[in-house]
Chain A
Amino acid sequence: MTAAITDYFPLRQGRAHEVCGAGAYGFACALAGQLGGNVMWIREDWQPELLNPEGFLPFFDPRKLLFAKGESQIDVLASGEEALRSGAVNLTVMELSKPIGLTEGRRLQLAAEAGKSTGLCIISEGMGSNAAESRWRCAPIFDPADSTLIRWEIIKNKSGTLTRWDLRWDAETRRITVVSKAGQRPAPAHARG
């Protein structure tokens, strides 16, 4: 594994990216924490799941979070475009329930470029759009000694290689730490849990 995570994360600014998998929310939160600044989180209003700001606390300050509910995916995309274009927020997270076409994907890219901010679409597996700058698959993995271990995998990348890392989130410094491959991994001094 030669590629350093710092080359890929935080994600390239002025672009829209995609993330899928069970750890997608954690990925979005980690990104929000790394980018700093305000975050706009947009989803459709029928989504029954609640975001829990208390759970965001280890990642970023919930005061920086604005949360918008659109009636349909069109609303979500349109609001996301506004947010990206305005440049008032550093990160715009959109939860998408349906695949988006090339046109929508390209519009997001243009808006992100205009506002110099980062866009992130949370999608279901296998639903990605070709216009995305990169696509990540994130999943929590079990580790006998650590309960924050996650696997981040780039499954599409327009400007780089596909790689994967096992990482850990450090809540105190609010940053990610790459964990070396299983087997060579030293056990953390104090097992969190």
Chain B
Amino acid sequence: MRAVEGPFALTHHHANTDRIFCLNEAAERQGLHRGMGYSDARAFCPDLQSYPANLQEDARFQRVLARWAKRYCPWVGLEGEDGLVLNITGSAHLFGGEDAMLHDMRARLSRAGFLSRIGLADTRGAAWALAHHAPGIAPPGQSHQAIAALPVMALRLKETVSTSLQRVGIRTIADLVAVPRATVTRRFGREVLLRLDQALGGQGEDISPVPDPPSYQMRISLPEPIGLAADVQAGVERLLDPLCARLKANDMGARKLELTLRRVDQNAQSVELRLARPMRDPHRILPLFERGIREVDAGYGIDQMRLVATQVEPQPARQITHVEGAPTDKLDDLVTRIGNRIGLENVQRFLPADSHIPERSHIIAPAAWSEPAGGWAVVRDRPIRLFAPEPVAATGRTPPRHLRWRRMALAVERVTGPERIAPEWWLPDDNWRSGVRDYWKVETRQGRRLWMFYTPQNPGWFVQGEFA
């Protein structure tokens, strides 16, 4: 998406109506706010541009950002739908102190086009309060003072609770601290004090960090450089076993593997293997590497090998039954071998398609991403070869007695037809601009059996195929 000028909002369908999910500053200046009905917003601000929010992608992106934030500390968790929480204890000095770290964070985020609000304090609750209401740093031990003047909303309370607190005159956190604790619990429940204690450090609070996605890579360093193909093969076997075990534990199968061989002279060679089916069986994968390994130039020797499954797909365990057809392992391996030479998408299979148009009666699909499908049925004779229509000099609605095709003089002996095929008007196709076609099977004295058609709306004869 391109950047937009002027008021802009993301909308989200929630509680039976479209609401504003997120908006920019220009829109805020027009008096719009989050959670407002979209039609109201349009009434306030007729030139509002909008786009539906994509929550799944947002959530995915939040995780991406969490992974990025691991550059600051290992302990990164998600905070709500639009935040991250970092426990930077012990890592701030690596960036030259808290100030410098936050500055770095802000600079990098703004360079990527983000508006960020960052709060730093002794406790998670205080940091949240600062980030949402007064971005900045609370010096160690002074979180209490830093958040004292903030409204009670800053304690991560529910909207209703904070409203009722404000109704009885408790507006800031300092007000809440001054009230006797017992009365607060009695009137507003345990949550208020729990949040207060969490913010002031009286009560501990954990961060659950986002787990790293499982990594499918293995590495081996060799004490002495190796150069023989058989040795490399043995090394790959050692890497493959644990890699496949890890794939199996996660119910995944490798689709693409990359083997990087680092040579003594720091030069690296890599062998890529694309598999026709997701696979995690080391005994089947290993022989497929053979050809790639043979082509590697080992130079002065290889002293480090790295095997990465760069593309994985879910491969759930399967129940083996007698109903299932014969296993296609050998065929899949063949597709892999040929595919690694000529490109995996160049090994194809035909799938039936629902169309009368001869060229569209089948789909060509890469064999690696499709299963053979049934449903082939033809009512009429069809040629085994099809070519682009080749014009033939002839007139009339019935096939000519004599014709010249590909510099051959052919005498027509028997014709079968016509079979009228109308173009599929709902699909634009330049080849069918000439209108309906009357197809004929034309048998010649010379033997050739051609599939010809006549276009009555645009008189002309063409040869389009040849029968067996």
User: Do A83 and B334 touch across chains, with their CB atoms under 8 A apart?
Assistant: yes
User: Do B447 and A25 touch across chains, with their CB atoms under 8 A apart?
Assistant: no
Give residues of chain A (40-96) contacting chain B, Cβ–Cβ below 8 Å. 40, 45, 48-59, 61-71, 75, 78-79, 82-83, 86-89
Q: Is B388 an interface residue (CB 8 A)?
A: yes
User: Do B373 and A67 touch across chains, with their CB atoms under 8 A apart?
Assistant: no
Contacts of B446 on A, CB cut-off 8 Å?
142
Contacts of B364 on A, CB cut-off 8 Å?
67
B434 to A: closest C-beta gap in Å: 19
Q: Is A147 an interface residue (CB 8 A)?
A: yes
User: Do B333 and A142 touch across chains, with their CB atoms under 8 A apart?
Assistant: no
Contact of B341 among A52, A75, A87, A151 (CB under 8 A): A75
Distance in angstroms between the alpha carbons of A65 and B7 in the assembled complex: 57
Contacts of A140 on B, CB cut-off 8 Å?
447-449, 467-468
Q: Is B404 an interface residue (CB 8 A)?
A: no
Q: Is B71 an interface residue (CB 8 A)?
A: no
| Given A67-B350, A193-B416; A51-B384 close (CB under 8 Å) | yes
One of B20-28, B54-62, B266-274, B375-383 at the interface: B375-383
B337 to A: closest C-beta gap in Å: 5
One of B126-134, B166-174, B355-363 at the interface: B355-363
Distance in angstroms between the alpha carbons of A83 and B447 in the assembled complex: 33
Q: Is B29 an interface residue (CB 8 A)?
A: no
User: Do A68 and B348 touch across chains, with their CB atoms under 8 A apart?
Assistant: yes
Indicate the member of A71, A142, A193 with the most B CB atoms within 10 Å: A142
User: Do B468 and A86 touch across chains, with their CB atoms under 8 A apart?
Assistant: no
| Given A52-B385, A54-B362; A79-B342 close (CB under 8 Å) | yes
Distance in angstroms between the alpha carbons of A25 and B416 in the assembled complex: 22
Convert A12-35 into 0s and 1s, putting 1 for each residue whose CB lies closer than 8 angstroms to a CB of B: 000000000011011001100000
Distance in angstroms between the alpha carbons of A140 and B144 in the assembled complex: 97
Distance in angstroms between the alpha carbons of A29 and B364 in the assembled complex: 19
Q: Which residue on chain A has the smallest CB distance to residue B375?
A: A63
Q: Is B372 an interface residue (CB 8 A)?
A: yes
Q: Is B436 an interface residue (CB 8 A)?
A: no
User: Do B331 and A88 touch across chains, with their CB atoms under 8 A apart?
Assistant: yes
Contacts of B466 on A, CB cut-off 8 Å?
22, 25
Q: Is B346 an interface residue (CB 8 A)?
A: yes
Convert B415-435 into 0s and 1s, putting 1 for each residue whose CB lies closer than 8 angstroms to a CB of A: 010000000000000000000
B389 to A: closest C-beta gap in Å: 12
| Given A66-B349, A82-B334; A142-B445 close (CB under 8 Å) | yes
User: Do B376 and A68 touch across chains, with their CB atoms under 8 A apart?
Assistant: no
| Given A52-B465, A67-B364, A82-B334; A75-B342 close (CB under 8 Å) | yes
| Given A68-B347, A83-B338; A54-B378 close (CB under 8 Å) | yes
User: Do A147 and B465 touch across chains, with their CB atoms under 8 A apart?
Assistant: no
Q: Which residue on chain B has the smallest CB distance to residue A76?
A: B342
Q: Is B387 an interface residue (CB 8 A)?
A: yes
User: Do B443 and A142 touch across chains, with their CB atoms under 8 A apart?
Assistant: yes
B444 to A: closest C-beta gap in Å: 7
Q: Is B413 an interface residue (CB 8 A)?
A: yes
A20 to B: closest C-beta gap in Å: 14
A2 to B: closest C-beta gap in Å: 25
Q: Is B113 an interface residue (CB 8 A)?
A: no
User: Do B348 and A61 touch across chains, with their CB atoms under 8 A apart?
Assistant: no
Contacts of B347 on A, CB cut-off 8 Å?
66-68
User: Do B385 and A50 touch across chains, with their CB atoms under 8 A apart?
Assistant: yes
Contacts of B348 on A, CB cut-off 8 Å?
66-69
Q: Is B103 an interface residue (CB 8 A)?
A: no
Contact of A55 among B374, B444, B468 (CB under 8 A): B468
Contacts of A144 on B, CB cut-off 8 Å?
413-414
Q: Is A131 an interface residue (CB 8 A)?
A: no
Contacts of A50 on B, CB cut-off 8 Å?
359, 385-387
User: Do A54 and B349 touch across chains, with their CB atoms under 8 A apart?
Assistant: no
B453 to A: closest C-beta gap in Å: 15
Q: Is A38 an interface residue (CB 8 A)?
A: yes
User: Do B448 and A66 touch across chains, with their CB atoms under 8 A apart?
Assistant: no
Give residues of chain A (128-179) contacting chain B, Cβ–Cβ below 8 Å. 139-142, 144, 147-148, 150-151, 169
Contacts of A45 on B, CB cut-off 8 Å?
346
The 4 closest A-B pairs by CB, nearest first: A26-B468, A55-B384, A88-B330, A63-B372
Sampled A-B contacts (30; CB under 8 Å): A22-B447, A25-B468, A45-B346, A50-B359, A50-B385, A51-B350, A51-B384, A51-B385, A52-B362, A53-B350, A53-B362, A55-B467, A56-B384, A57-B376, A63-B374, A65-B349, A66-B348, A68-B338, A82-B341, A83-B338, A89-B331, A139-B447, A140-B467, A141-B447, A142-B445, A144-B413, A144-B414, A147-B443, A147-B467, A148-B468
Given contacts A57-B376, A65-B350, 13 further A-B contacts (CB under 8 A): A26-B384, A29-B384, A54-B382, A57-B378, A63-B349, A67-B350, A69-B348, A86-B333, A86-B337, A88-B333, A88-B334, A89-B331, A142-B444
